Chain A
Amino acid sequence: MSLNKTKTRFRANTLILAVELLLPFVLLYALRNDYTLLGEIVSAVLVLGIIFLVVFK
């Protein structure tokens, strides 16, 4: 694997890690305040992050 590809994957994984770490707290906020739409959007982003891992990892 070329160095650039390794770097890109590392950056992509770091971004997903940040998303997976931070978004559940936004989700917690949405759930506590019954912001259904925000909760659904955040859940969808989390699912997309996982799908990225399945496809590109």
Chain B
Amino acid sequence: MLLLKWGALRASAVSWLVAVIVSLAAFGGSWLILAWSQVKALVLAANLLVIVWGALLLYSLASEAGTLRAIGFFIPRLSKDRSIQLLLIAWLLASFLQGMGGFGVAVAVCAPILVAMGYSPVLAIVMTALGHGWAVSFGGMASAFESLIAVTHVSGTLIAPYAAVLFALSFLPTGLLISLLGSGWKGTRHAFPAILAVSLTMGGTLYFFNTHGFWSLSTIGPALVGIATLVLLTRLPNYRGLKAESAEDEPKLGTRDLLVNLTPYILLVVIGFSVELIQPLNNFLNKVSISFHYPEIVSGLGFVTPAESSPTIHPFSHAGMVLLVTVLLSYFILKREGMLENSSPRRILSLTAHNVVDASLGMIVMADVSAIMTHTGMTSTLARGIAETINATVFPMVVPFVGVVGAFLTGTNNNSNILFGALQAEAASLLKLNVPLILAAQNFGASVGSVMSPTKLIVSCITVGLGGQEGKVLRKLLGYGLIPVTVVAIATGIWAWLLGSGA
């Protein structure tokens, strides 16, 4: 992909053709296995695509109404301390925006603000990308995390606590790196207590959300708590900062304006929590369910995929439905406030459609590749090869980097999880390692790797006028971005060893 300068979609399609040819030539594949694997892949992808489409629709609505711009204007004004402003924008606002749907909006909103504050465009992109690297997996209603659950059939409730701890461990190094890059050693020393406090509160919130099944809000929740923590800290004398002179022509944003601009996000949180927490409502919505039954599939070489059912889909309590209801309610409120025009729906749908098509095709084809590999025994063969060549002590430390490579090449956290999730789970199982921990580490690597991928960097660079200079940004981002991944890799290695030794 990098050498031939192919897009992610073409690379996925080539991978699909290679997987089909290899399965037919060497793994006893047949058109029947191919057909069943495609059906299963489509059902898996469709379940995730509904979330991606809903998140994109919400992003398009917010973009059309100008709420993202307004929040980007308001957040830096919460503090007058420059090092706190930097953390608010590059780390917390970027994470919050990623939680609302992602798709490059975090960098598109935050990097230009940082440039306006006087940071170089390269540094602005690097700091913003570093800041929201952790936020991808649980952003957009946790579609990437859901894809990991779907391909591995490991319960989300088992993976989520491990994921919370590993993701939380990356907070401190991430905050410190951003501060170091933007404020230097002196600024970092000054901001250290704030970074520590935010890391702890965000980590605690993330753990609470994940262990209570609210992982679809595990980016927005911690990011909001992080913003609130930092705003509270600005009341301390040390973080009050110098009084800034406000320009007379600067637009003012009152509390009501802010609330109106936050409408889509407040509604998303309220509806998301209501569906999960109000038990009678949850029971009522879960009355309708869809599940497909698949027969046993045996490859020409005797590899057996047992008969199974697809995960049960509850359409009315599905994250995609939560997003759709949020979009509809937000539309009526924002329209009443005069923030949308009569022609807005057409523009919203057009923007959504243009973003949806390529992303959806990429996901479907990648799910197809994963399904072909799983059903013909290719994944199993690769996992056995890994288990025989890498020992159980080293493997957990390699896992997050595999996640990074997957996301770097395919451009998304989702695709990395779909492509490598089953492989990582099977290798972990053969090495007698804790499978949920390994999957949590894969998920973290894929989350961070996705913000470094060339496909995303191209879009990021355009937003600050750096089109064509992606290489410069990539070199810097790879150098710094791999630091949190290394921290998590070491933590995974130690944790897996402790679990393995019965500690």
Contacts and interface: CB of A to CB of B under 8 A. Distances in A.
A16 B354 CA distance: 14
Given A10-B357, A31-B36, A53 B9 contact: yes
B318 to A, nearest CB: 17
Contact of B39 (A10, A16, A28, A40): A28
Contacts of A28: 39, 292
Interface string B6-40: 01011011101100100000000001101110110
A52 to B, nearest CB: 8
A53 to B, nearest CB: 4
Contact count band on B? 20 to 34
A14 B35 CA distance: 22
Interface in A1-29: 10, 13-14, 16-17, 20-21, 24-25, 27-28
Contact of B35 (A39, A53, A54): A39
Contact of B357 (A17, A43, A46): A17
A57 B35 contact: no
6 contacts: A20-B361, A21-B360, A25-B39, A31-B36, A39-B32, A50-B13
B285 to A, nearest CB: 24
A49 B133 CA distance: 33
A53 B360 contact: no
Interface in B31-51: 31-32, 34-36, 38-39, 41-43, 46
Given A27-B39, A53-B10, A57-B13, A43 B34 contact: yes
B358 interface: yes
A12 to B, nearest CB: 10
B38 A27 contact: yes
Contacts, number: 68
Interface residues of A, number: 24
Nearest to B358: A13
Contacts of B32: 31, 39
Determine chain A's interface SS by DSSP, over half rule. helix
Interface of A: 10, 13-14, 16-17, 20-21, 24-25, 27-28, 30-31, 39-40, 42-43, 46-47, 50-51, 53-54, 57
A30 B14 CA distance: 27
Interface in B346-366: 353-354, 357-358, 360-361, 364-365
A10 to B, nearest CB: 7
Interface in B120-148: none
A34 B365 CA distance: 25
A42 B39 CA distance: 11
A13 B7 CA distance: 14
Contacts of A24: 38-39, 41-43
Given A20-B42, A28-B39, A28-B292, A57 B31 contact: no
A30 B12 CA distance: 26
Contacts of B16: 50
Contact of B31 (A13, A16, A20, A40): A40
A57 B42 contact: no
Contacts of A16: 361
Contacts of B12: 53
